[in-house]
Amino acid sequence: MSLINDIEIINRVIEGDKEAFSQIVKKYQNMVFKYVYYQFNNYDEALDITQDIFITVMEALQSFRQESKFSTWLYSIMVNHCKNYRKKMNRYSTVSLKVMRGEDEVDLQLQDYRENPAEKVVNEDSIRIIKEEIEKLPDDFKDILTLRDIDGLSYNEISEILGINLSNVKVRIHRGREYLKNRLHARGLI
């Protein structure tokens, strides 16, 4: 679907054809969900947040001035929503599930019985490790690496979405990649 189609659909929605918004949702739901999922590494949480993002987008559609691509505008809402959600979650204290094994304290591994198609992929270990490491990244690196290396956005788009200048985008990408590479190296993945 082209950019013109996005704008056409949005204009229809603004004019009152709310049903047309379902085309936008269907087109972008995978992209939004994946971004959220890699930010929080939690399937259920990602579903809820994705839903909230689309509601926010629909309710804010009137404020879309069509100066940028719709996808860029959607990305900025998505990134901000995730940031706000993270902030909100940080307000609540979390309890670490630890068990004693001998003299060592280790994380309690809770079995997730939900079927996850990703588990069927051959290099499931690599995927698991990379997901864990993405989750542990500092927030600034997490945002920018997801946008750049997973979603494949250009530096200009990222600059627009995050509201930072191009040189800052570059610096953050460099530092984020360096950080992640060192972490993956420490885990023996690279």
Partner 1 sequence: MTLKHLNFDELSDLIDNELSEQQKDYCLAHITVCKICCKEYESLLKCISLLSSLKNECIAIPDFSERTLTICRSREKKRLFLKAVPAIAASVIIIAGAGFIKTGFFNESGSYVAANLSGHNETQRIIESVGNSKGRILKITHSFIDGEFDKNSLSAIERILHKNNIKHAVIVNSGMLVNPSTGKMEDVNFTYGNGSVSGNDIYKNQNYATIENGKVRIRIFK
By the criterion CB under 8 A, which residues form the site for partner 1?
18-19, 21-23, 25-26, 29-30, 33-34, 37-38, 43, 47, 50-51, 54-55, 58-59, 115-118, 121, 123, 126-127, 130-131, 134, 145, 149-152, 155, 170, 173-174, 177-178, 180-181, 184-185, 189-190
Nearer to partner 1 by Cβ, of 130 and 162: the residue is 130
Burial (0-12, 13-18, 19+ Cβ within 10 Å), 154: exposed
Beta carbon of residue 29, minimum distance to partner 1 (angstroms, whole number): 5
Nearer to partner 1 by Cβ, of 106 and 171: the residue is 171
Nearest to 180 by CA among 147, 135, 121: 135
Beta carbon of residue 69, minimum distance to partner 1 (angstroms, whole number): 19
Instruction: DSSP letter for 137, please.
Output: S
Q: Give the integer Cα–Cα distance in Å for 79 and 10.
A: 21
Nearer to partner 1 by Cβ, of 1 and 99: the residue is 1
Beta carbon of residue 36, minimum distance to partner 1 (angstroms, whole number): 10
Beta carbon of residue 187, minimum distance to partner 1 (angstroms, whole number): 11
Residue reference for tokens 């985008």: 169
Nearer to partner 1 by Cβ, of 106 and 190: the residue is 190
Nearer to partner 1 by Cβ, of 134 and 160: the residue is 134
Beta carbon of residue 63, minimum distance to partner 1 (angstroms, whole number): 15
Q: Give the integer Cα–Cα distance in Å for 112 and 121.
A: 17
DSSP assignment of 144-181 equals HHIIIIIS---HHHHHHHHT--HHHHHHHHHHHHHHHH
Q: 161 to each of 74, 88, 178, how far by Cα in Å?
A: 9, 21, 22
